[in-house]
Structure 1
Amino acid sequence: MANIAALLKSEIARVARKEVRAEIESLKKASAQQRGAIAQLKREVAHLQKDLRLTRTRAGAAVALSPAAPAAHQPSKRRFSAARLAAHRAKLGLSAAAYGQLVGMSGATIYNWEQGKSRPDGQQLSRLAALRAMPRSSLVALANP
């Protein structure tokens, strides 16, 4: 009886290993394809970075990125002044939270900008500039629906 149990146990282990091996093979193939895709993407990024460096050196300055590129990567020529931000918000008579809603940020973030504890990035500077360009009546209407 012990021989039958041992044989059954070894046969179950063999079949289980065979099933696991079949599953692992498909995963190995998928992994190899993904590694190949990642390698291709890395080559493309390296090529694009090389082209960008060449373009920058030809232009002698930073290159204006295409409009389809994310705004966070575009160089910003805007300057930021914490005092001007605070003055603009005070002129509108808005709380930091209300002003933050217009910019798409929290009131605490606006407060930190005004206190000089942090600075907005390029995309946020663009939003602030757009707010400054809008008439006061539209901003107050947007802030107080």
Structure 2
Amino acid sequence: MFTGSIPSSLGKLSNLEVLDLSLNNLSGNIPQQLTGLTFLNFFNVSFNNLSGPIPENGQLSTFDDNSFKGNKDLCGIRLLKKCEDPPKPPLQKPDGDQDSESGSFFELCWMVILIGYGGGLVAGLALGNAFTIDVYRLLKKIF
């Protein structure tokens, strides 16, 4: 009548050959540390309340599905219930959260264009006003 989770410290029992925790009220995940039990010949955690993926590497991957049955939230390669991949982050960011580098590039580009256009307009008007009379005399002589 064990309750709670499987202690990860069981993974330190390196010479353990048999581990039968079936028909208890254990919950939580199967600890990854149990994959280091290389001498384990028999493993059974059936009919508990275990959840999450069965550790795939190590000795635990050699036991058949009977070692894990009766745990409705347990998933893995050995079981009919396969584990779902964790949700992937969205490729595009929400509208209000654009990449600052791409936005700043276009803002900078338009700012440079506007500064150049505005500066050229002011310089042209100033120079045109200063040299209007000289340009008028020059054009008068030519035509």
TM-score category by the smaller chain? Answer: under 0.3
Max Rg structure? 2
Q: Which has the higher helix share?
A: 1
- The alignment's TM-score, normalised by the length of structure 1, stands at 0.28
Q: Which has the higher strand share?
A: 2
